[in-house]
Structure 1
Amino acid sequence: MKVLLINPLQENPCMPGPPKQILSEGGIYPPQGLLYLASFEVRRGKHEIKILDAIAEGLDYAGIEKRIADEKPDVVGVSLFTLYLGDGYRVLQAAKRVSKDIVTLAGGPHPTLFPRQTIKLPEVDYSVCGEAEYVFGEMLDRIQDRRPLDDIEGVLTKNNPDKPVKQLMVQNLDELPIIDYKLLPYNKYKSILSQGNPATVMMTSRGCPFNCAYCPQAGTKLRKRDAKLVADEIETYLNLGIKDILFFDELFTLEHKRVKELCDEFLRRKLKFRFNIRTRIKDVNQDIIDLLKKSGCHLIQFGIESGTDRIQKLMNKNLDLEVVRKVISMTRKAGILTYGNFMLGSPSETESEMQQTIDFAIKCKLDFAVFAITLLLPKTDYYEMAFKQNKLKEDFWEKYIANPLQPIENAYWPDFEKGFLEEMDKKAYTQFYFRPWYIWNYLIRILSAGQLRTHSSAAYHILKSFGLRKKLTGK
């Protein structure tokens, strides 16, 4: 049986956001979830599996539909993301236009959050809630044999859309295969945060046990993969000429013993690669930073989010801001680049508090900073807070996911005037990036010629999208 797994475009967010030129300059990353599913099936050898990454291949909707028609798949599986549900939905529609006989599977973060609503979409035949590696093969076998799927755990069907559903979770990550990266156009993946391209992403663990008020995926069990298997996978990338890896674990340094196991294995095998990690300020110290640097760490991405104590508490992060500054300074002194994530527009946050966050990012002397407008994401404390305080009268997420081609007007905290948060976001980026100290230190002195071209292109699109290019250049 022929199976085509599709990573859809991300061109039509549920509400206005950064221009796609800025997002594309940030990087193009491989669809890890689809890779694991496909690699599992390649190992089983029962079905013909292909992956279509529409983003990496630069396809438009017509191009996606043509590829589906050319491939003539029996099954099409699509990763759905709530913020870009409309894009995934268009792919499902395209599959059914090509042939009503194509069986469509919906998986990914969106069906995990909204399994029942997903199966109600007319173009979805089956919806999977959670991590599908263990059930995917069984689903394909039953589809081929025309047997019902109603009793497969975590899977919803048109025949039984309201059955009790439990989120699937791979408990033992060591059972996952080494992914077959040749299923993708691996030379097309890149990141503005890497020193060289092509680059890739991988995860050595899954889950995050913490409960940040803005996060819809909070409070999931942390599971880890054996260090030797992680190193085995890295070797497959190195053999393909990929020497920059972005670890997308939410909490790479949560357990220091684990960090030591990974880094010791990298060093023992003499793996020559650069890597970036994501982690919490609370989970690093001088010894860990030194070990990461020795092992090839190029950049650490910290979730800081706010520069005020009050908003830190509201977010349920509770970071000590003085500790934040010390950790960033310690990281920079070790020769590792620093990257901070920040959010503007939490419930009841004032303009003064947002400016304090911008100022804090600047004072920390971060190498990179991203300022996101806070969205009231589904099934978060922030979203529930809006209802409890009578700020919202209807569940706009339920309305959107029932009709994903109709965007949401406003997913921000309702008290903010229209356009205010967008202006604050522009202000944050211009104050942080377009100052003499930053330009001198990071766009001239440190960056290689190749990186300078990449960053200059990104800067151009930021200037253009924020309406600053003409003001600064006169053009």
Structure 2
Amino acid sequence: MLLLSPPVQTHEWLTNKPNAGLAYPNLAGALRDHGVDVRIFDASVGDDDDPLEEMFAHPTLLPTGFLRTGVGDERILQVAADYDIVGISSIFTDQETTALHCARLIRAAYPDKVLITGGVNARSRMSRFFAAGFDVVCLSEGEATIVDIVDAVRRSHRPDYSAIHGIAYVDSSGVTRVKPPRAQDVVWDLDTLPMPAWDLLPNERYWTLARPIGTGKSETLRYANMMTSLGCPFHCSYCHISKEQEVGSLSGPIGKFRVKSDSRVLAELDVLKDLGVQDLFIEDDSLLGDKKRALRLLGKIQGSGFNISDLNGINVLHLLKRWQPDHEVLEALASAGFSEISLPFETGSLRLMRKYASNKLNIERANIQSLIVAMKEYGFTIYGHYMLGYPDETMEELQQTLQLARDHVSYGLDGAHFFVVVPLPGTTLYDQVIADGLHKEDFDPDTMNIHRANMTGALIPREELEEIRHRAWEEINTTSYKNSKKSTVPRTTPTDVVAAQRAS
């Protein structure tokens, strides 16, 4: 089986940060344990036979205006030739185009290969994925499901998927069959999951580029991503977890908060250390969701030697105790090796926080000034994340968020990041805006990213919202921070190269 991560497409003014994601090593670990010959091929960086620096210095200009970075179509077909099954994950909507392109490419060249996909985007837009040539869409967590699919393929060149739960497929009569996972299909004991096969990722090529997701560092980094828990105690409407709560849903209740044991986490750290990893990015949706467990685990991680950064954001509420800084937690994070932490403040409006963000922080009671000051004293680099453009957000509420960010920077926040609210498929927010007529179901997936306003008819017009977001970053962040971002983070390709490609 080949696990193929497609080439990446980006705007010319964004940094291309290759990241096959944790789905690939997780699935590869399960397949390897089952005796399957499995390979991960990240087409955005290739392998030792592909010119890494050339691909990143001269990406391909697409007709859409995006830049594609990675190997060409012929190389993808060359790699896919030797495999019976090809799996392509599709989590992020703005990368849907490349996933579907790879599927069409492989289906046309190799009509007998089995193509499978999964991820919240594929699950939410399965009709488009079937139309592109996929045979199976995995609806939930895939470590067990992918093994079941492999066994079905092993039994027959015309596999029967009817006994497998947690998938959708097109049967022999052309009818789409959807079989949601059962409660017993959800992995409640995370220690039973196979060890991720991080060794199958093109780590040396990632480290050479030194462009990990979630940081602006430019020096060579020996990094990897991991998760110590799954799910989240919150279910914000703009997050896919909002639709992953109930038995009988397409995904099943995989959004429920679940944790790995301390011993399992330490075992994973040992595997990563043996690979030579030094910088660790934690992708937990809620690392401190169980504070007692987190404190115990952080104590055991102390002295592990990793430089640790939080990638998805630690909920601000979990850094507080009776609305004041929780020094026990802050000290534990610092002692464990955490250096960078993102704080998801979301909005300066308590109304919007309650309506869209699970009411997860009372910004009127929380002493954020003291928290930021304390975090700087512990030596953290901290970033604030702010969301702009909720469907019914007023200009007054938006200005409250901008003022909140200004205050936080004045307290010592290192950088403020502003994101446009995007109604992504697979979230309750998406369902809401479709029902309210604020978004069309036949949207262009290339536009579904945190820099673009997508809703039509929201209180703040799209063009104005994008301009406010851009201006906020420039005006609220310090000059030193802006200069550091502009000087240390390489853009996808030089402007003159883009101009030459357009001219030709």
Structure 1 position 327, deviation (Å): 2.3
Q: For residues 411 and 107 of structure 1, what CA distance do their matches in structure 2 show?
A: 24
Q: For residues 55 and 187 of structure 1, what CA distance do their matches in structure 2 show?
A: 14
- Aligned residue for 2:226? 202
Which of 287, 291, 301 is 1:252 aligned to?
A: 287
Which of 150, 157, 177 is 1:162 aligned to?
A: 177
Task: Please list every run of at least 4 consecutive aligned residues from structure 1 whose deviation after the TM superposition is greater than 6 angstroms.
Answer: 403-410, 459-464
- Aligned residue for 2:502? none
Structure 1 position 106, deviation (Å): 1.1
Q: For residues 494 and 79 of structure 2, what CA distance do their matches in structure 1 show?
A: 40
Q: For residues 182 and 292 of structure 1, what CA distance do their matches in structure 2 show?
A: 27
- Aligned residue for 2:457? 414
Structure 1 position 156, deviation (Å): 1.9
**Are the aligned partners of 1:133 and 1:170 in contact in 2 as well (CA < 8 Å)?**
no
Q: For residues 242 and 108 of structure 1, what CA distance do their matches in structure 2 show?
A: 27
Pairs within 5 Å for 1:428-443: 428-433=472-477, 435-436=478-479, 439=480, 442=481
User: Which residue type is aligned with residue 106 of structure 1?
Assistant: T
Which of 191, 194, 197 is 1:180 aligned to?
A: 197
**Are the aligned partners of 2:15 and 2:492 in contact in 1 as well (CA < 8 Å)?**
no
Deviates more, 1:305-314 or 1:64-73: 64-73
**Are the aligned partners of 2:12 and 2:491 in contact in 1 as well (CA < 8 Å)?**
no
Aligned CA distance change for structure 1 residues 153 and 463 (closer, same or farther; 3 Å): same
Identity of aligned residues (%): 23
Q: For residues 336 and 349 of structure 1, what CA distance do their matches in structure 2 show?
A: 32
- Aligned residue for 1:15? none
Deviates more, 1:250-259 or 1:406-415: 406-415
Aligned CA distance change for structure 1 residues 120 and 239 (closer, same or farther; 3 Å): closer
Aligned CA distance change for structure 1 residues 406 and 429 (closer, same or farther; 3 Å): closer
- Aligned residue for 1:296? 337
Aligned CA distance change for structure 1 residues 387 and 140 (closer, same or farther; 3 Å): closer
**Are the aligned partners of 2:103 and 2:134 in contact in 1 as well (CA < 8 Å)?**
yes
- Aligned residue for 2:304? 271
User: Which residue type is aligned with residue 33 of structure 2?
Assistant: R
Aligned CA distance change for structure 1 residues 65 and 166 (closer, same or farther; 3 Å): farther
Report the 3-state secondary structure (helix = DSSP H, G, I; strand = E; otherwise coil) of the residue aligned with 1:104.
strand
- Aligned residue for 1:40? 30
Report the 3-state secondary structure (helix = DSSP H, G, I; strand = E; otherwise coil) of the residue aligned with 1:396.
coil
Matched, 1:152 2:167: no
Q: Deviations over 1:43-102 (max 9, x none)?
A: 222x21111112333665762442332441211111113332211100101111221111
Matched, 1:135 2:150: no
- Aligned residue for 2:104? 93
**Are the aligned partners of 2:43 and 2:71 in contact in 1 as well (CA < 8 Å)?**
no
Pairs within 5 Å for 1:14-413: 19=11, 21-24=13-16, 27-45=17-35, 47-57=36-46, 60=69, 63-72=72-81, 73-81=83-91, 82-115=93-126, 117=127, 120-146=130-156, 147-159=159-171, 161-166=176-181, 169-189=186-206, 190-191=211-212, 192=215, 197-218=221-242, 219=245, 220-267=255-302, 270-277=303-310, 278-284=313-319, 285-318=326-359, 319-321=361-363, 322-365=366-409, 366-386=413-433, 390-392=436-438, 396-397=440-441, 399-400=442-443, 411-412=454-455
TM-score (norm 1): 0.82
User: Which residue type is aligned with residue 98 of structure 1?
Assistant: A
Report the 3-state secondary structure (helix = DSSP H, G, I; strand = E; otherwise coil) of the residue aligned with 2:301.
helix
Identify which of structures 1 and 2 has the higher relative contact order when contacts are C-alpha pairs closer than 8 Å and 6+ apart. Answer: 2
Unaligned runs of 5+ in 1: 13-18, 445-451, 465-475
Aligned CA distance change for structure 1 residues 31 and 335 (closer, same or farther; 3 Å): same
Structure 1 position 158, deviation (Å): 1.1
Q: For residues 447 and 18 of structure 2, what CA distance do their matches in structure 1 show?
A: 26
Aligned CA distance change for structure 1 residues 331 and 64 (closer, same or farther; 3 Å): farther
- Aligned residue for 2:9? 11
User: Which residue type is aligned with residue 185 of structure 1?
Assistant: P
Q: Deviations over 1:12-45 (max 9, x none)?
A: 7xxxxxx354242xx4334211111111111222
**Are the aligned partners of 1:276 and 1:299 in contact in 2 as well (CA < 8 Å)?**
yes
Higher helix share: 1
Q: For residues 292 and 358 of structure 1, what CA distance do their matches in structure 2 show?
A: 28
Q: For residues 232 and 430 of structure 1, what CA distance do their matches in structure 2 show?
A: 43
- Aligned residue for 1:458? 489
Report the 3-state secondary structure (helix = DSSP H, G, I; strand = E; otherwise coil) of the residue aligned with 1:11.
strand
Q: Deviations over 1:160-216 (max 9, x none)?
A: 523442375322211122222221111233332568612221100011131213223
Q: For residues 309 and 410 of structure 1, what CA distance do their matches in structure 2 show?
A: 22
Aligned CA distance change for structure 1 residues 463 and 301 (closer, same or farther; 3 Å): farther
Q: For residues 463 and 70 of structure 2, what CA distance do their matches in structure 1 show?
A: 30
**Are the aligned partners of 2:15 and 2:491 in contact in 1 as well (CA < 8 Å)?**
no
Structure 1 position 443, deviation (Å): 7.4
TM-score (norm 2): 0.77
Aligned CA distance change for structure 1 residues 330 and 410 (closer, same or farther; 3 Å): closer
Aligned CA distance change for structure 1 residues 228 and 211 (closer, same or farther; 3 Å): same
Q: Deviations over 1:343-387 (max 9, x none)?
A: 111122233432332232132122132211111233544344435
Report the 3-state secondary structure (helix = DSSP H, G, I; strand = E; otherwise coil) of the residue aligned with 1:422.
helix
Q: For residues 320 and 404 of structure 1, what CA distance do their matches in structure 2 show?
A: 34
**Are the aligned partners of 2:165 and 2:179 in contact in 1 as well (CA < 8 Å)?**
no
Aligned CA distance change for structure 1 residues 184 and 163 (closer, same or farther; 3 Å): closer
Report the 3-state secondary structure (helix = DSSP H, G, I; strand = E; otherwise coil) of the residue aligned with 1:35.
helix
**Are the aligned partners of 1:30 and 1:201 in contact in 2 as well (CA < 8 Å)?**
no
User: Which residue type is aligned with residue 315 of structure 1?
Assistant: Y
Report the 3-state secondary structure (helix = DSSP H, G, I; strand = E; otherwise coil) of the residue aligned with 1:300.
strand
The alignment's C-alpha RMSD in Å is: 3.0
Aligned CA distance change for structure 1 residues 90 and 182 (closer, same or farther; 3 Å): same
**Are the aligned partners of 2:237 and 2:356 in contact in 1 as well (CA < 8 Å)?**
yes
Q: Deviations over 1:283-321 (max 9, x none)?
A: 122101101101111122221111232332332443232
**Are the aligned partners of 2:216 and 2:489 in contact in 1 as well (CA < 8 Å)?**
no
**Are the aligned partners of 2:167 and 2:179 in contact in 1 as well (CA < 8 Å)?**
no
Aligned CA distance change for structure 1 residues 356 and 463 (closer, same or farther; 3 Å): farther
